[in-house]
């Protein structure tokens, strides 16, 4: 079983402390969390309705038909929603702001988590290995032969079709999920950092940080899931800043990196 060192908190993050285990041994201190998110990348423009649905647009259902179709998907929780002026059920049906992945290119390398990660190959710029549109990519150098590949993107919730009253009054659950390879390149090969931001894209309303450490007793090379659900986060959330890190190593066996795939951010109505 994975032993994640993770935490959710309001406001600025603090350093982790040494934790005691039942057998009296000390677990290594948690890696420090960024006190504030890095400058959030500019959110990409909203996807076109055709891109969201994956099919060409058609006249579609009537207003009442769109409402019924969405309530069938959302359950009874959506029946009491009051739509603001200018928003219709037909538009919601096209935009699908709930129960869909709001991240762009969630699987940029086309890797299947039901199969072992493929060989890394020689070191190449990450952007040449797939479709990374929507991601801001950077590298953090570590000594002596390690580095982090950092990928991040910022989700504009209003631009994706949600509205202020829904976010502030209903506060739908925000689910973040990711899969990383247990590459065994180091004790910790992956980190996840998520910030819920106010309209200024700098004020942190809630945050979550995880640095899972898979058990060495489990077979290496497997896929490990990381997930978290934000609930009751309070009013004012307008952006979600998603950032993950994957560790690389340059050694005698060549360049190796930790793969990450199937990243997701989605909102669900709470029953």
Into how many domains does the chain fold?
1
In a domain? residue 223: yes
In a domain? residue 37: no
**Torsion sign (Cα): 265, 15, 186, 255:** positive
- C-alpha distances (whole Å) from 120 to each of 42, 84, 147, 148 are 30, 49, 15, 15
In a domain? residue 12: no
In a domain? residue 13: no
| The pLDDT value given to residue 149 | 95
Residue 110: pLDDT over 60 = yes
Least confident range of 47-51, 75-79, 267-271: 47-51
DSSP string, 170-239: I--EEEEEEEEE---SSS--EEEEEEEE-TTS--EEEEEEE--B--TTSPTT-EEEEEEEE-S--TT--E
In a domain? residue 31: no
| The pLDDT value given to residue 230 | 98
In a domain? residue 29: no
Over residues 20-65, the pLDDT tens digits come to: 344 444 444 455 555 556 766 677 666 555 555 454 445 678 999 9
Residue 18: pLDDT over 50 = no
In a domain? residue 74: no
CA distance 69 to 183: 43
In a domain? residue 108: yes
The CA-based dihedral angle spanning residues 262, 104, 158, 79, taken in that order and rounded to the nearest 10 degrees:
-40
Whole-number average pLDDT of the chain:
84
Model confidence at 200, pLDDT cuts 50, 70, 90, reads very high
Residue 13: pLDDT over 50 = no
| The pLDDT value given to residue 54 | 52
- Which CATH number is 194's domain given? 2.60.120.260
| The pLDDT value given to residue 28 | 45
The boundaries of the domain holding residue 213 are 100-268
Over residues 131-183, the pLDDT tens digits come to: 999 999 999 999 889 999 999 999 999 999 999 999 999 999 999 999 999 99
């Amino acid at each position: 079983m994975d032993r994640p060192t993770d935490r959710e908190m309001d406001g600025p993050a603090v350093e982790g402390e040494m934790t005691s285990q039942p057998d009296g041994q000390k677990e290594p201190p948690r890696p420090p969390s960024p006190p504030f998110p890095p400058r959030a990348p500019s959110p990409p423009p909203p996807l076109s309705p055709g891109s969201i649905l994956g099919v060409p647009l058609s006249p579609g259902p009537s207003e009442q038909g769109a409402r019924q179709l969405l309530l069938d998907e959302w359950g009874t929780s959506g029946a009491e929603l009051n739509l603001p002026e200018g928003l219709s059920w037909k538009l919601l049906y096209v935009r699908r702001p709930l129960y869909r992945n709001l991240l762009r290119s969630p699987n940029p390398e086309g890797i299947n988590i039901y199969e072992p990660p493929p060989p890394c190959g020689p070191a190449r710029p990450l952007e040449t290995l797939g479709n990374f549109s929507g991601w801001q990519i950077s590298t953090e150098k570590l000594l002596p032969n390690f580095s982090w590949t950092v990928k991040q993107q910022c989700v504009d919730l209003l631009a994706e079709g949600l509205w202020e009253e829904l976010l502030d009054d209903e506060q739908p659950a925000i689910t973040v999920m990711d899969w990383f390879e247990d590459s065994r390149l180091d004790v910790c090969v992956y980190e996840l950092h998520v910030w819920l931001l106010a309209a200024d894209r700098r004020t942190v309303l809630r945050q979550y940080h995880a640095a899972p450490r898979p058990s060495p007793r489990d077979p290496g090379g497997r896929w490990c899931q990381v997930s978290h659900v934000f609930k009751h986060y309070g009013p004012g959330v307008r952006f979600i800043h998603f950032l993950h890190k994957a560790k690389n190593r340059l050694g005698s066996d060549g360049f190796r990196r930790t793969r990450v795939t199937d990243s997701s951010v989605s909102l669900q109505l709470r029953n």
